[in-house]
């Protein structure tokens, strides 16, 4: 019996409708940066803040300590937290990390977003 290797890339599971999904690529980069910082228990805080040219901007920062009201999501050995108000806008989102010819970075794949500005720094809901 022989097997033929698959030529299709693995597809990430859809994010839970009640939370935030973390792709393997994003988890790998978060773990790399976390280990470089020397903070193995740290999480990434994602959120929404008013501002930018279309109304809102994403928050993306380290969380060395969790707040009592934080919502925690874990996948592939990393933690992502958000506050309850931001979760309203982030519910169903996938946090991804992409590499390409134009650079690399984290990408918010958010089904709730209605639009974004041309520079990519701001989002509309």
Task: Indicate the domain borders of the chain.
Answer: 20-117
The pLDDT of residue 9 is 42
Stronger pLDDT, 107 or 116, i.e. the higher one? 107
Give the CATH architecture of domain 20-117: Sandwich (2.60)
What digits encode the pLDDT tens for the residues 34-50? 999 999 999 999 999 98
The pLDDT of residue 106 is 92
Kindly give the pairing relationship between strand 20-22 and strand 93-100: parallel
Mean pLDDT over the full length of the chain: 85
The pLDDT of residue 11 is 45
Q: Is the pLDDT of residue 1 over 60?
A: no
Residue with tokens 């309203």: 88
What digits encode the pLDDT tens for the residues 69-98? 999 999 999 999 999 999 999 999 999 999
Rounded distance between C-alpha atoms, residue 77 and residue 57, angstroms? 27
């Amino acid at each position: 019996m022989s097997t033929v290797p698959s030529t299709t890339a693995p597809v990430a599971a859809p994010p839970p409708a009640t939370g935030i999904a973390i792709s393997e690529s994003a988890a790998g980069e978060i773990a790399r940066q976390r280990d470089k910082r020397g903070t193995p228990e740290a999480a990434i805080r994602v959120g929404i803040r008013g501002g930018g040219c279309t109304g809102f901007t994403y928050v993306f920062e380290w969380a060395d300590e969790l707040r009592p009201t934080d919502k925690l999501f874990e996948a592939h050995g990393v933690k992502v937290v958000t506050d309850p108000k931001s979760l309203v806008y982030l519910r169903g989102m996938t946090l991804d990390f992409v590499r390409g010819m134009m650079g690399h970075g984290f990408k918010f794949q958010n089904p709730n977003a209605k639009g974004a500005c041309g520079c990519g720094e701001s989002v509309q809901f």
